[in-house]
Chains A and B, each alone.
Chain A
Amino acid sequence: MTAASPVTETAQGTAILPGQGGWTGSLSDTFWRNPKLLLILMLTPPVLWLGIIYLGSLFALLAQSFFSIDEFSGMVQYELTLKTYGELFRPANLDIIIRTVSMAAIVTVAAACVAFPIAYFAARYARGKWKAVFYIGVMLPLWSSYLVKVYAWKLILAKEGILTWIFAKLHLTWLLEAWLAIPIIGGYSLSVSYTGTFLVFLYVWLPFMVLPVQAALERVPGSYIEASGDLGATPGQTFRHVIFPLALPGIVAGSIFTFSLTLGDYIIPQIVGSSRLFIGQAVYAQQGTAGNIPLAAAFTVVPIVIMGFYLWGAKRMGAFDAI
């Protein structure tokens, strides 16, 4: 480096500025002449870190899904096979996959419905101070501790908790009991029912839906809505034919988060919910107590594949511009 720089300095450097002294100067000159060198130096650490630690682990995991486990000895057999993927289609495992995907779908739809008014108000009506209030109001729950949020819901949904108390004060205890008596979604108390799991998922992922929807709505020009009204559309028609289609990419962008996060979560259904497993719990159980790493790896492929299709569809709808 130092040997080469004097030559190039006399060749072109002196035409503009004298070469700079010291090793920092010559190093700096080298970077200026070879922008690629600087680029490579800047990219090497992050790419090495993420490439080796993250991608390396990911591929090692995926590779293991093509191994199988010997049913008698419980040892992993290092021969390539699709047997482990076949096991995913056993009724018990298929149930887990269907249960998780349905929960993710319901949570996503509900999150879109709850998030839309918040996002719409924040984008169209909130000004000045209120804009900041809405922004922080979404940001704080988004970033505050995941476990604390789940814990808060354990307090709320407990049999002796605040929700039961509210229902009793409103003389609606019969309604809560009727709801809990419904098979599948009910249970002994809200904290051990699917309803509880659903509420916690909805709560924890809601901010991820509000932000992209708000971003999409902020890009809808106010003149479109005025024009729609001027042309005789009722507010309902304006919503259906102008606002909603333009907000859709934002909703799809938000749904990527709510859907993906629900698919992979194993803590919420473990803490609030019935004892029936979700994909994340199945992965955790297979790699931990069962020691069946190949099946755990095959299970993790399920959300990856589902999200792959989901992202492909979302990209076609232009959702990535809204993130």
Chain B
Amino acid sequence: MRSDGKHRAPFALKAAAGLGLAFMHLPIALIFVYAFTTEDKSYQWPPPGFTLKWLEVTWNRPDVWEALKLSLQVATISTVIAMVLGTLCAAAVSRTKFFGRETISLLVILPIALPGIITGIALRSAFSIAEIPFSFWTIILGHATFCVVVVYNNAVARFRRTSGSLVEASMDLGANSFQTFRHVILPNIGTALLAGGMLAFALSFDEVIVTTFTAGQQSTLPIWMLEELVRPRQRPVTNVVAMVVVLVTVLPILAAYYLTRDGDQVAGSGK
């Protein structure tokens, strides 16, 4: 551990911090071991042996593929909607001061601040009142709503660091609003938007609580997993799916980190 000489961490603190980090990571690491176990009836540890068989079994499962496909579609469309709405909102809130500005920020943050079950059941009862049948689009309605905040937080942070004089200079030099947006604003906020979009994607891809209320008979990958968790039927396949989900969510998170790491604002601080 590197430290600058005069500030050396006490051993107890180092140990507590290290153990804390280990506590946060070992359970996830365990998933990777179980994906290759030969045991298929219980969660026996240590695994009696290792095999690649379950990767193949999972690969040939149409229900897993369908759930994965649905999850990817939902996450993609929700992310696009959230990026448009979140960016518009962030631009409005950070560019000008107006009456009700605080209320707007609160409105954006509320869907993630209140427990997911409240959002879920509220949407479900609204759908039943309005007699909207559950479909692909009801899932999207729910997901886009709570994804806006992630894009918004990233965009607001970047807008705050982008000086307003850049925009004024561009206008003074004769560019109109659209040219300014295209050539000055977009390059400045681009990486923040991309990072926000990736986090929104990860959030939507993983969401289960709201989805259980807004999906009818369809299952996204998290819903598929939840059913397996409540009533385990095919543990080895679940193990493999869990591993794939970890890999699919980790990559956008790392990418989002590298896109925003020089910023003073933390990319994921909005969740």
Contacts and interface: CB of A to CB of B under 8 A. Distances in A.
Nearest to A31: B177
Given A118-B17, A263-B115, A271-B229, A53 B176 contact: no
A238 to B, nearest CB: 12
Contacts of B229: 147, 150-151, 154, 271
B92 interface: yes
Interface string A29-69: 10110010011001101110111011111101100100000
B205 to A, nearest CB: 8
Given A60-B129, A271-B229, A46 B2 contact: no
Interface in A96-131: 114-115, 117-118, 120-122, 124-125, 127-130
A5 interface: no
A81 B96 CA distance: 44
A10 B266 CA distance: 47
Given A60-B122, A120-B17, A271-B230, A143 B271 contact: yes
Contact of B13 (A24, A114, A120, A270): A120
A24 B113 contact: no
A206 B27 CA distance: 13
Interface stretch (B56-64, B157-165, B186-194, B243-251): B243-251
Given A49-B145, A300-B121, A151 B7 contact: no
Given A136-B254, A143-B271, A260 B113 contact: yes
A50 B108 contact: yes
Nearest to B174: A17
B215 interface: no
A25 B118 contact: no
B21 interface: yes
A296 interface: yes
A145 interface: yes
Contact of A149 (B27, B124, B230): B27
B46 to A, nearest CB: 7
B107 A50 contact: yes
Contacts of B50: none
Given A117-B20, A127-B4, A165-B46, A260 B115 contact: yes
A9 interface: no
Contacts, number: 272
Contact of B266 (A58, A117, A121, A211): A211
Nearest to A284: B117
A307 B115 CA distance: 10
B35 to A, nearest CB: 11
Contacts of B84: 45
Contacts of B271: 142-143, 208
B169 interface: no
A143 B249 contact: yes
A50 B117 contact: no
Nearest to B7: A125
Nearest to A127: B2
Contacts of A25: 176
A74 interface: no
Nearest to B107: A50
A264 B115 contact: yes
Contacts of A264: 114-118
B23 A121 contact: no
A136 B31 contact: no
B203 to A, nearest CB: 8
A137 B25 contact: yes
B24 interface: yes
A206 B148 CA distance: 24
B122 A145 contact: no
Interface string B1-41: 11110011100011011001101110110110010000000
15 contacts: A31-B177, A47-B89, A47-B104, A56-B126, A118-B17, A130-B1, A132-B261, A140-B250, A144-B246, A154-B229, A155-B30, A206-B24, A265-B115, A297-B121, A304-B118
Given A117-B13, A155-B31, A303-B118, 15 more contacts: A24-B176, A43-B92, A47-B107, A64-B125, A120-B13, A132-B261, A141-B28, A143-B253, A143-B271, A149-B28, A155-B30, A156-B30, A160-B44, A264-B118, A300-B121
Interface of B: 1-4, 7-9, 13-14, 16-17, 20-21, 23-25, 27-28, 30-31, 34, 42-46, 81, 84-86, 88-89, 91-92, 95-96, 98, 104, 107-108, 110-111, 113-119, 121-126, 129, 141, 144-145, 148, 171, 174, 176-178, 199, 202-203, 206, 208-209, 222, 225-226, 229-230, 238, 242, 245-246, 249-250, 253-254, 257, 261, 266, 268-269, 271
